[in-house]
Amino acid sequence: MSHPHPELTPPPPLPEGGLRIVPLGGLGEIGRNMDVLEHEGKLLVIDCGVLFPEDHQPGVDLILPDFSYLADRLDDIVAVVLTHGHEDHIGAVPYLLRLRDDLPLVGSQLTLAFVEAKLREHRITPYSLTVREGQVERFGPFECEFVAVNHSIPDALAVAVRTSAGTVVHTGDFKMDQLPLDGRITDLRAFARLGEAGVDLLMADSTNADVPGFTVSEREIAPILDSVFASARKRIIVASFASHVHRVQQVLDAAQEHGRKVALVGRSMVRNMGVARELGYLSVPDEVLVDVKAVDDLPEDEVVLMCTGSQGEPMAALSRMANRDHRVSVGPGDTVVLASSLIPGNENAVYRVINGLTRLGARVVHKGNARVHVSGHASAGELLYLYNIVKPRNVLPVHGEMRHLVANAELAVQTGVPPAHAVIAEDGVVVDLVDGVARVAGAVECGYVYVDGSSVGEITEADLKDRRILGEEGFISIVVVVDSGTGKVVAGPEIHARGFAEDETVFDRVCPAIADALEEAGSGGSADTHALQQVVRRVVGRWVNEAYRRRPMIIPVVIEA
């Protein structure tokens, strides 16, 4: 089993009248959010996102939820509810729809517009249903009511799922900004009404559960951006998530105020902001937005570039600028603003980009030295409000690493939820709601599925281990020709190395040992090439370890003559 609880067995059949929750991503990690609710033989999917790879996953483009739990039950899925348009909640939808392309997608106008634009690139035309706050829809045995929540992207929704087993409220990502840029606040009255009616299980966003107090309002960024724009001497380059409509709006407004033009850089940024503008979520001041090709003809102190790459993604625009691999060359006098939080695991990549830009002479403004970003997630104070308003009978923290999930559960207990009813689970751990009580029922297989170029799920942990060894320890190949009868060396050993030692004469010391070992093995009856290759691997591996304290990848090739 690849779930993190090897002591748990597969869950028994769901008791009649019960509700099962199977998290396939987002519990124990930041990203890859996906939960499956099962009731009366039908399945409701909430979110379907991606996780971005870390340094120890070389070559990987994206990490998907493990759909194997759903593979034999695709026809039982009645709907896929999407809470909002961030990649960690919608990015894996195209890969799920490859398995069944007529799955109904349910979400707000902007969320579905982002998904549909993404699906067009995969040549998939989805069946979708646009919903808005206050709307109630039935999907099989699930009655879903949608609730407005405030987040760092417009049109985010929480969902209350009513079944005969009880009511589940899933917050999606949310915060309680009381002065949001779009005027759309988290609907606490709806949460209070749901609480009055009785909520059996609350699945709440945990991302900032260990941060005391309240998340700062988005409006507090505007004066900071204004001062950055006022002090910038040449070009301004702002990096943010490609879906952060509010941040792009603030940059457009600041640019207009300071007489600058804005160009969007990066395919996903251009696509998403085009969608947001078309639907009225992005207000573009007259003649402020220009094509990136027009930037070359403008004075440097009139230019703002809005690009992707705030998490240090190697192929994103900002990383390529830092590596001098982009049409935009950053230099002295330029100001770069990283308008995002650090997602755990991305720290090294982000600081690498900051150092690269600084080395080129740019002034880099980031969350560590100026308030150029605020989180889109509720801090501890807001979560306490939520628990006191909803008064849930059971709690299942979602969306966060283990420290976030535990902190969220502790907040729930402080507000009166019995400790036994604050369930901490990770990906693959199955939770059943039966007779009003939520309990861990077992676990299902729930590993990482890697997207590597055009391949999906073909790269394994063993492949990544090989890549890490190649990157960290190097590679040695040994070619040797032996007499098929005696095992004596006829030619070689010929040794080549990469990433291990520049002077290949160092291998002169081990060549006699290889020949002696092969001759001994041959005289002892070990004449087949596979056995002889293992002999070569052992001799070279032992020598490299003793002489250099290294463990490179060793590829022996034994040819019989």
Which stretches in the chain have pLDDT values below 70? 1-6, 53-61, 310, 312-315, 342-346, 451-474, 484-487, 492, 498-506, 522-527, 547-550, 561
> Tell me, what's the pLDDT at 356?
85
- Phi, psi angle pair for 479, to nearest 5°: -115, 125
List of domains in the chain: 19-213+375-453 (3.60.15.10), 218-365 (3.40.50.10710), 461-560 (3.10.20.580)
> Tell me, what's the pLDDT at 484?
67
Distance, in Å, from the CA atom of 526 to the CA atom of 528, rounded to the nearest integer, reads 6
Beta-sheet pairing, 142-148 with 136-139: antiparallel
- Of 499, 492, 500, 501, which is closest to residue 533 (Cα–Cα)? 492
> Tell me, what's the pLDDT at 64?
83
**Model-level pTM?**
0.81
| Other Cβ atoms within 10 Å of 310 Cβ, number | 28
Beta-sheet pairing, 127-130 with 19-25: unpaired
Distance, in Å, from the CA atom of 330 to the CA atom of 326, rounded to the nearest integer, reads 9
> Tell me, what's the pLDDT at 486?
64
Question: What is the dihedral sign for C-alpha 16, 19, 22, 27?
Answer: negative
Tens-place pLDDT, residues 159-212? 999 999 999 999 999 999 999 988 999 999 999 999 999 999 999 999 999 999
CB-based contacts of 250: which residues, under 8 Å, 6+ apart?
Answer: 181, 218, 221, 222, 225
Record the tokens describing residue 53, joined without a space: 């790879």
Report cis status (omega within 30 of 0) of the bond before 493: yes
Question: What is the dihedral sign for C-alpha 347, 51, 385, 177?
Answer: positive
Distance, in Å, from the CA atom of 234 to the CA atom of 180, rounded to the nearest integer, reads 31
Q: How many helices (H) and strands (E) does the chain have?
A: 14, 25
Chain-centre distance of CA 538, in angstroms? 40
Task: Please state, rounded to an integer, the average pLDDT across all residues of the chain.
Answer: 85
Residues in the chain: 561
At residue 42, what is the residue type? K
